[in-house]
Amino acid sequence: MSKVHVIDHPLVQHKLTIIRNKETGPKEFRELVNEIALLLAYEVTRDLPLEEVEVETPICKTKGYTVAGKKLGLVPILRAGLGMVDGILQLIPTAKVGHIGLYRDPETLQPVEYYCKLPSDSHERDLIAIDPMLATGGSAVAAISFLKKYGCASVKLMCLLAAPEGIKAMQEAHSDVDIYTAAIDEKLDSRAYIVPGLGDAGDRLFGTK
Ligand code: PRP
Ligand code: URA
């Protein structure tokens, strides 16, 4: 069974509370989403393997460590996942970025795919799928199924808020994919919005409502 990591660092919780506030406008919302994403990326990458290297300081030679193992890839789910990419790239500037375009049909709540462009070596990378909202889980489940169809075997999911329903759906569909989130909220409402949530993440990021 995959693990759910709740990143309850005080700075994450502080910033999350500001973006939940309906009075927070797109500029501040965008900045904070990127800042939270950077802090989450610190935890998502905690288990990266290291290799020992020799380094010469101005004083003497010594032992140091560099990140080893597979290279990383970020896969934001459009559109709201885009809001987290720059923050993560500040921490992992060499990661390649693929994009999966999905939207949730407001009537059926089923994910509808409209775009996919992945780095050609995605299957050789450790991938982080990125979407701020894990609500029913339909979008994240579909995006990760898509990545697996392309041969990508190492995937983690990073989000800002997760509903219990979304976590259950992800664990049933992809029991090998760990979930990293800043909070687990209470439930979904009748339109499958996360409660208490933060509203429509894409609209708040891009000012489309
Ligand atoms: C939002 C969000 C997730 C999805 C979550 O995207 O960014 O992708 O809903 O809901 P689910 O877990 O029930 O699938 P939306 O469909 O609103 O598209 P957008 O990012 O283009 O606004
Ligand atoms: N998508 C969002 O942007 N917000 C929710 O609460 C649920 C799905």
* Coarse DSSP helix, strand, coil percentages of the chain, rounded to the nearest 5 percent: 35, 30, 35
* Exposed e or buried b per residue across 75-98, where buried means at least 16 C-beta atoms within 10 angstroms of its C-beta: bbbbbbbbbbbebbbeebeebbbb
Is residue 206 predicted with pLDDT exceeding 90?
A: yes
Nearest ligand 1 atom to the CA of 109 is 13
Mean pLDDT for the chain?
96
> Is the pLDDT reported for residue 52 higher than 90?
yes
Q: Ligand 2 atom 4: the closest Cα is on which residue?
A: 200
With a 6 Å cutoff on the Cβ, whether 193 touches ligand 2 is yes
Cα dihedral 17→22→24→25 (10° resolution): 150
Could you read off the pLDDT of 55-66 as tens digits, one per residue? 999 999 999 999
Across residues 194-206, what is the average pLDDT? Answer: 97
Q: Where are the beta strands (DSSP E) in the chain?
A: 4-6, 50-56, 61-67, 72-78, 96-97, 99-104, 111-117, 126-130, 133-134, 155-162, 179-184, 187-188, 194-195
Closest ligand by atom to 84 CA: 1
Of 167, 158, 175, 3, which is closest to residue 87 (Cα–Cα)? Answer: 158
108 is catalytic: yes
Percent of the chain with pLDDT over 70: 100
Q: Is 57 a catalytic residue?
A: no
Name the active-site residue from 176, 200, 204, 208: 200
Q: What is the pLDDT of residues 94-125, one digit of tens each?
A: 999 999 999 888 888 888 999 999 999 999 99
Q: Tell me, what's the pLDDT at 99?
A: 98
In the prediction, which pLDDT does 109 show?
83
pLDDT of residue 5: 98
Average pLDDT over residues 76-104: 96
Structure tokens at 203: 């609209």
pLDDT score at 130? 98
Average the pLDDT over 123-130 and give the result. 97
Measured in whole angstroms, the distance separating CA 163 from the mean position of its chain's CA atoms is 15
DSSP per-residue letters across 24-80: --HHHHHHHHHHHHHHHHHHHTTT--EEEEEEE-SS-EEEEEEE-SSPEEEEEEETT
pLDDT at 209 (0 to 100): 81
Find the mean pLDDT for residues 32-54.
Answer: 97
Tokens of 190: 């009748």
Tell me which of 105 and 17 has the higher pLDDT: 17
